[in-house]
Amino acid sequence: MPGKINSFVSSPRAALDKALTGFLALHPALRWHKDHNVIYRGDKDRQDRVTVLSGGGSGHEPAHAGYVGERMLDAAVCGAVFASPNALQIESGLRLIQSPRGVLIIVKNYTGDKLNFTLAAERFRFASGVPVRIVVVADDVSISRTNSALVGRRGLAGTVLAHKIAGAAAHARLSLDEVADAVEFSLANMATIGVGLDSCSLPGQSHQSRLEPDEIELGIGIHNEPGSKRLKPQPTLEALVGDMLRNILDANDEERGYLKEPPCAADHDIVLLVNNLGGLSMLEMVVITGEVVSQLDTNYRLKPIRLFTGTFLSALNGPGFSITILVLPKNELISPKIIEWLDAPTDALGWTSSISSETWRISPCPSDARSSEPAALEPLEKSYDVPNFACDGVLFTSIVKSIHASLTEAEPEITRMDTIMGDGDCGTTLLDGSNAVVTALDDGRVKVDSISQGMMEVANAISRHMGGTSGALYAVFFTALASAICAEHGRHTMVTATDLAQAAKTALGKLKQVTAAREGDRTMMDALIPFVETLEVAFLDDKAPLEAFGHAVAVANVGCESTSKLKPRFGRSTYVLAEGVNDATQDIPDPGACGVVAIVTGVFEALKVHYSS
């Protein structure tokens, strides 16, 4: 019997549009760039100060749109549920709030976020000449240094404190480097750990419980991924909070002693944030807060000088909470400034003030602040001067349609596997990209009789509509593939199968420049690398195109299946039971690798029809 759908929202895609409509209704001074889902402020004073941009996947409300406001964020770029926005969205956000003083980007340490925000920053910096700094939030202490060596620590609720500090510091007219350095100082002295009773419920999907009734997960993230360790039986709240505080404050733990300076009352002040991951009652939250404050006093002789409790960065309706501690050395001149910036008034919807010695009132925003985007903002979708190299338009079209059919068939199983191993969006993200390409094809925007121009438009469609890490990686690969096709064509009067194989190898090389993942790391590269390398060798051995492609697809399948026995080293699945036996990966291939197989299988099916006709 199927599980109950515990959500009033039936579609994740519709949810984002309605949520942003709701944010604007609650805060009429905000603006919304609908084409790229950017919520931003239209302040006239931004030319005189640094501006601040952040963002990420939806489902973390009030983050990130809820922190757009005076003395906080200038813009938030909103991706699909639990998926990074793409680089074009982010670049649009940067252009909407650009300032000659510079732009600070705050991004959480997740591969897709870092890749897309970095790519957008580089494009924006090159095109505008505006200085940009990126600060990466990595405050999670649940994963040991050994297990986080390659991917680093995740960004959790400490991100919200970084937003507040950055926004107020920028409002105080500090330089870009001064604002970024202040945030980085805070992050070096900040630590967070989360715990959950169960997984969250994704909009439109029935709830799937992954824990026994007497189990909880310690070290959970914010994307529905399992924790680093399961505790059974469920400990008392007192024991649980004690364990969480030890993970944060134990200076003798070489694997988790991440704080720059372990706090002591004589030398440090502390700021405490107790964050609701979305599914706990207010009663539970104040009980938890009381327990945390009590243990800090009794066991560590620490009393927070500022205390924040509430839903700051959620995981949809995740039944859990996290504890964040910011340690401020009393001998540092910046420490009292950070408190001042945390106290600074803001009209951001998601921010809840702590203890303050000053009562303040926010001035109302201008009634016309919701006007349309500035006329000076030019379209991002510029036409590129791509050479026109002819190809078989019927074959091009059939390949696109065949890939779409293959991904549509594979999506439910890929989604099921990714729900177990990650955040459940891999299959839908791949299908989003495929839908965008097919729509562009049907609308006539893909020039099917030009292999060069057609491939570039495929890459553009993926860039605009496919979020997350996989969207960025596929955008890089297909953009590089289109470019390489043009380069290879210069050697012949027509594009040959060997040219395409060489172009794929070149594109793979470009992809390797933006990701350190290789074969054996349990990612899409376990299928893509052997496919491309086998295809090249097959054509060098003068195999017929259909035979060569079929052999490469078979090798990609083998690479994909091999991931079922591999321990993840990249992506969110890295954190699944990282501190225990990683039995969650047993016999489950990597969803990203399965996506690659579905794509190349779709191409192969189209080629079989073509060569048999």
Q: Which of 331, 312, 322 is nearest to 263 (CA)?
A: 331
Instruction: Please report the DSSP string for 402-447 in residue order.
Output: HHHHHHHHHHHHHHHHHHHHS-S-HHHHHHHHHHHHHHHHHTT-S-
Instruction: Please report the DSSP string for 290-343 in residue order.
Output: HHHHHHHHHHH----SEEEEE-SS--TTBSEEEEEEEEEETT-THHHHHHHHHH
How far is 162 from 15, CA to CA, in rounded Å? 27
Residue type (1 letter), 572: R
Local structure of 370: helix, strand or coil:
coil
Number of neighbours of residue 127 by Cβ within 10 angstroms: 14
How far is 400 from 388, CA to CA, in rounded Å? 19
Q: Which residue has the tokens 């019997």?
A: 1
Preceding amide of 64 cis, omega within 30: yes
- Tokens, residue 199: 């997984």
Strand partners for 136: 107
User: CA 181 → CA 109, 135, 581, distances in Å?
Assistant: 18, 9, 39
User: CA 278 → CA 17, 60, 155, 313, 437, distances in Å?
Assistant: 20, 8, 17, 8, 35
**Residue 403 — φ and ψ, nearest 5°?**
-60, -45
Contact 485/495 with Cβ under 8 angstroms?
A: yes
Number of neighbours of residue 379 by Cβ within 10 angstroms: 8
Q: Which of 66, 78, 82 is nearest to 37 (CA)?
A: 78
**Residue 380 — φ and ψ, nearest 5°?**
-80, -30
Q: Note the residue count of the chain.
A: 613
126 Cα distance to chain centroid: 23
- Tokens, residue 6: 């515990």
DSSP letter assigned to residue 292 = H
Contact 574/109 with Cβ under 8 angstroms?
A: no
User: CA 302 → CA 113, 141, 257, 295, 338, distances in Å?
Assistant: 35, 19, 18, 9, 18
DSSP letter assigned to residue 335 = H
How far is 59 from 550, CA to CA, in rounded Å? 41
List 36, 60, 171, 223, catalytic entry: 223
387: Cβ–Cβ under 8 A, 6 or more apart, which residues? 452, 453, 486, 489
How far is 165 from 344, CA to CA, in rounded Å? 9
How far is 504 from 500, CA to CA, in rounded Å? 6
Number of neighbours of residue 183 by Cβ within 10 angstroms: 27
Local structure of 610: helix, strand or coil:
helix
489 is catalytic: no
Q: Would you name the residues annotated as active-site residues?
A: 223
